[in-house]
Chains A and B, each alone.
Chain A
């Protein structure tokens, strides 16, 4: 299984919206509604932001939303804030033996 494809970088001004894509195949992203997104600040552990494509864990602001179309999942951050800056990783269930695949990560910059 190959890593999921994410753009290396994304940016937006405070208050704007930005969308990060995550492209896989019919064997992972496209085959199941089991995509999750993680936020990572420098030197910190990743934090779960979205699971099962569009569900938000308790405590995650509703400015973060997820969706999926075909083999591509997306994370949208609305009303960008300075603290949203960081690296974002997608992940997907990838079939037999509960295999997990991650994306390469996207560095989000708040201008």
Chain B
């Protein structure tokens, strides 16, 4: 059974870098059919896609966060990671990792669903 688990500091100071890791168990991250994504949810608010990464290192990012986001993958550990720089209080949220799947059409993978999700980890930005 595929499971994902986020880990990392729960408190980050303003202007510093938020770093999270997602450990995948029950399946290999080396799959041709999936990307691995990050989504966040500020307290009491809706979901926001942050970005995703393929096992080869190909990435896609939300344009609104692109200048501050970096994702990476470690296939030897079956993990992928998120770094968000220059954080402010607005970056306080529950951060989720998830498998990002879709449909191959004409040689292109149209990513369109997230499943399963990790349990999420609350990251608070505060001094």
Contacts and interface: CB of A to CB of B under 8 A. Distances in A.
A99 B51 CA distance: 8
A44 to B, nearest CB: 8
Contacts, number: 75
Range for the number of chain A residues in contact with chain B: 20 to 34
Contact of B60 (A35, A91, A98): A98
Nearest to A103: B46
Contact of A46 (B101, B103, B109, B114): B114
Contact of B113 (A1, A32, A36, A97): A36
Interface of A: 1, 3, 32, 34-36, 38, 44-48, 51-52, 57, 89, 91-93, 97-105
Interface of B: 35, 37, 46-49, 52, 60, 62-63, 96, 101-103, 109-120
